[in-house]
């Protein structure tokens, strides 16, 4: 019974890895992307700007950011999603600028998902 369940699980994992290109990443995204950013207060509100660096050997598209607004205790009080415009080439970077509705004590920015394009390099 255990071997059968394991075989089904491994088969599903292999099937999913072969066909799924959209990747939803919480914490593990750090191994594929780096995000350098700053939050600046402007007359129209807070704007988070920065760059997403693609450390994959693949170009990516549809890169989606998760921007969390934190209070002084580190609790998430608001969240915003935004797209990085255009493709992010393998080893390259892309700029983003996202207005945030609520001012926070801190912010957290991460890549939540992306679609893989073509492989580049050797």
DSSP label at residue 88: B
Cα angle, residue 91 at apex, residues 39 and 14 outer, rounded to 5°: 105
Structural domain contains residue 77: yes
Domain that holds residue 47: 22-119
Structural domain contains residue 2: no
Structural domain contains residue 4: no
pLDDT band at 68 (very low <50, low <70, confident <90, very high): very high
Structural domain contains residue 13: no
pTM of the model: 0.71
Structural domain contains residue 5: no
Q: What is the mean pLDDT of the chain?
A: 80
Structural domain contains residue 76: yes
Could you read off the pLDDT of 93-120 as tens digits, one per residue?
999 999 998 999 999 999 999 999 977 7
What's the CA gap between 44 and 36, in Å, rounded?
Answer: 22
Number of domains in the chain: 1
Structural domain contains residue 87: yes
CATH number, domain of 77, equals: 2.60.40
């Amino acid at each position: 019974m255990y071997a059968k369940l394991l075989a089904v699980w491994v088969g599903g994992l292999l099937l999913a890895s072969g066909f799924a290109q959209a990747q939803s990443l919480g914490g593990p995204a750090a191994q594929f992307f780096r995000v350098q950013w700053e939050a600046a207060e402007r007359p129209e509100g807070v704007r988070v700007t920065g760059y997403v660096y693609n450390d994959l050997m693949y170009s990516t598209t549809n890169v989606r950011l998760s921007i969390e607004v934190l209070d002084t205790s580190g609790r998430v009080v608001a969240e915003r999603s935004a797209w990085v415009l255009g493709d992010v080439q393998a080893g390259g970077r892309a700029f983003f600028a996202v207005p945030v509705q609520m001012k926070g004590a801190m912010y957290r920015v991460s890549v939540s998902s992306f679609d893989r394009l073509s492989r580049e390099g050797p």
